[in-house]
Structure 1
Amino acid sequence: MQNSIDGRGEAAWSFLTQRLTRTSKTFGDVLRYWNALRVGTDLPARSDLDPRVIQTALANAFILDRTRPGTIRIRVAGGHMNDLMGMEVRGMPIRAFFDLLERRRLMDLVETVFTKPALLELDLVSNNRSGPIIEGKMLILPMRDAAGNVNKALGCLVTHGDIGQTPRRFRIQRDVVTPIVVTQTPKPAPAMAGFNEPATSFEARPTGAASTPNTGIDGTPHIPTDLEAASKPGPVPWLRIVR
Structure 2
Amino acid sequence: MGNYYFGDAARDKDDSLDHHMAFTRLRQHWNSLRDTVHQPPKARDVQPHILGAALPFVFLVENLGGEILRLKLGGTHLCDVMGMELRGMPLRCFFAYNERPRFAAAVEPVFTGPAELDIRLQSSYSGIEPPVLARMILLPLQSASGMIDRAIGAFVTKGPLNHAPYRFEIERTDLHPLHAETAAVTPPPHMDMKPTKVPYLRVLSGGRAS
Alpha-carbon distance between aligned partners in 1 of 2:17 and 2:23, rounded to the nearest angstrom: 6
Does 2:169 match 1:171? yes
Deviations 1:126-182 (A, max 9, x none): 133334421010000000000000000010001100111111010000100111118
Q: Which deviates more, 21-30 or 94-103?
A: 21-30
Aligned residues between the structures: 165
Q: Identify the match of residue 82 of structure 1 among 79, 83, 97.
A: 79
Alpha-carbon distance between aligned partners in 1 of 2:97 and 2:29, rounded to the nearest angstrom: 33
Alpha-carbon distance between aligned partners in 1 of 2:133 and 2:16, rounded to the nearest angstrom: 16
Alpha-carbon distance between aligned partners in 2 of 1:131 and 1:55, rounded to the nearest angstrom: 32
Q: Do the aligned partners of 2:17 and 2:158 also contact (CA within 8 Å) in 1?
A: no
Does 2:46 match 1:49? yes
Alpha-carbon distance between aligned partners in 2 of 1:107 and 1:20, rounded to the nearest angstrom: 27
Secondary structure of the corresponding residue to residue 178 of structure 2: strand
Q: Identify the match of residue 135 of structure 1 among 129, 133, 136.
A: 133
Q: Which has the higher contact order (CA 8 A, sep 6+)?
A: 2
Closer/same/farther in 2, CA of residues 87 and 22 from structure 1, 3 Å limit: closer
Deviations 1:43-75 (A, max 9, x none): 100000110000210000000100224221111
Q: Identify the match of residue 145 of structure 2 among 133, 144, 147.
A: 147
Q: Identify the match of residue 62 of structure 1 among 46, 59, 71.
A: 59
Match of 1:96 in 2: 93
Closer/same/farther in 2, CA of residues 23 and 128 from structure 1, 3 Å limit: farther
Does 2:28 match 1:36? no
Q: Do the aligned partners of 2:60 and 2:72 also contact (CA within 8 Å) in 1?
A: yes
Matches within 5 A, 1:1-243: 22-41=18-37, 42-126=39-123, 127-181=125-179
Q: Do the aligned partners of 1:21 and 1:28 also contact (CA within 8 Å) in 2?
A: no
Normalised by the length of structure 1, the TM-score is: 0.64
Alpha-carbon distance between aligned partners in 2 of 1:49 and 1:94, rounded to the nearest angstrom: 20
Q: What is the Cα deviation at residue 115 of structure 1?
A: 0.7
Alpha-carbon distance between aligned partners in 1 of 2:135 and 2:147, rounded to the nearest angstrom: 27
Gaps of 5+ in 2: 1-14, 181-210
Gaps of 5+ in 1: 1-18, 183-243
Task: State the identity as a percent.
Answer: 34
Secondary structure of the corresponding residue to residue 181 of structure 1: helix
Alpha-carbon distance between aligned partners in 2 of 1:163 and 1:20, rounded to the nearest angstrom: 16
Match of 2:189 in 1: none
Secondary structure of the corresponding residue to residue 165 of structure 2: coil
Normalised by the length of structure 2, the TM-score is: 0.74
Q: What is the Cα deviation at residue 90 of structure 1?
A: 2.9
Q: What is the Cα deviation at residue 20 of structure 1?
A: 9.8
Alpha-carbon distance between aligned partners in 1 of 2:85 and 2:152, rounded to the nearest angstrom: 18
Aligned AA (1:135): L
